[in-house]
Structure 1
């Protein structure tokens, strides 16, 4: 599997409220695009209004336009989900690198979940086997206990009868043993 670190979001991101974010300016810089083309790409995303509201927000910011001059421009701030949705539509080596890292991360995550599920299934199978074995032993013990309860009085009676017959009986006649 390819190394998961082929793309590091930290190269172009920052943190806000404990979550990674980036801006349309940083995306433009990283991908070597004009900021206005990144803004156009964001506006043309075919995602739902709910997704857009959850993962993109805009503000106005002064940006450099060359020769020390600046102008006010709309800038999008986006979280990782918004960033990935945007970048999935990009082409080129850098976009391919990000897509590959994302796919590798997804494969790694799937492998981890599968390993956990397999471990739980193995533990579950062992527990079920132990349950069935002990259930079988308990069932056998229950049947033999019932047989014992039925045969015990018969055997005790037989033992007592044989024991009483086996006792020597000495008859005393006129005080003498015969």
Structure 2
């Protein structure tokens, strides 16, 4: 498959809340179809309501069409939704585009996995460091509390010992 087509399709698959998704606009563009035809294909799919709800999200957007703004609708879809939709598209070109789209979804899924793994590793490192420091500080606090109770007695004993090192001068009268 052409590398440029593959890169362009990667741009049509995006990260939405940690999940790889595309749109009905992207499908229409990639397959050279009118967007209204893609919308009709989605509406006419014979899939369960549960599958439709999990894999297709209808969205309205305020879009400039000519001199007027109109609400137009499009679908966000998961990889499974995309696969179900385009299974009905046929021909050599359609098959090549399907393959590239699948590669683009896989690439985005890998990007999301790498991002998650990187964040997870950083999280684990920071949690480990925090727990270690908490233990160190906790030990230090216990040591400070024990020191508070020992300090006075030690200072008194040291003072007495220091006084014992000083020679005692007796009073001599001349």
Judging changes above 3 Å, is the alpha-carbon distance between structure 1 residues 3 and 21 closer, same or farther for their aligned structure 2 residues? closer
- TM-score w.r.t. the length of structure 2 is 0.56
Cα distance, 1:4–1:150 mapped onto 2, change above 3 Å: farther
TM-score with structure 1 setting the length: 0.55
- Compare relative contact order (CA 8 Å, sep 6+) and give the higher one, 1 or 2: 2
Distance 1:78 1:166 in 2: 94
Deviation at 1:110?
0.3
Equivalences, count: 133
164-173 vs 106-115, which moves further: 164-173
Q: Structure 1: how far apart are the matches of 2:2 and 2:138?
A: 54
Larger radius of gyration: 1
**Aligned CA-pair RMSD:** 4.2
Aligned counterparts, 1:7-46, within 5 A: 22=28, 27=33, 42=41, 45-46=45-46
Structure 1 runs (4+) greater than 6 angstroms displaced: 48-52, 77-80
Residues 45, 86 of structure 1: 8 Å contact kept? yes
Q: Which runs of 5+ in 1 are unaligned?
A: 10-18, 29-37, 56-76
SS at match of 2:5: helix
Gaps of 5+ in 2: 10-24, 60-72
Distance (whole Å) between structure 1 residues aligned to residue 152 and residue 137 of structure 2: 23
Checking the alignment, whether the CA contact within 8 Å between 1:5 and 1:101 is kept in structure 2 is: yes
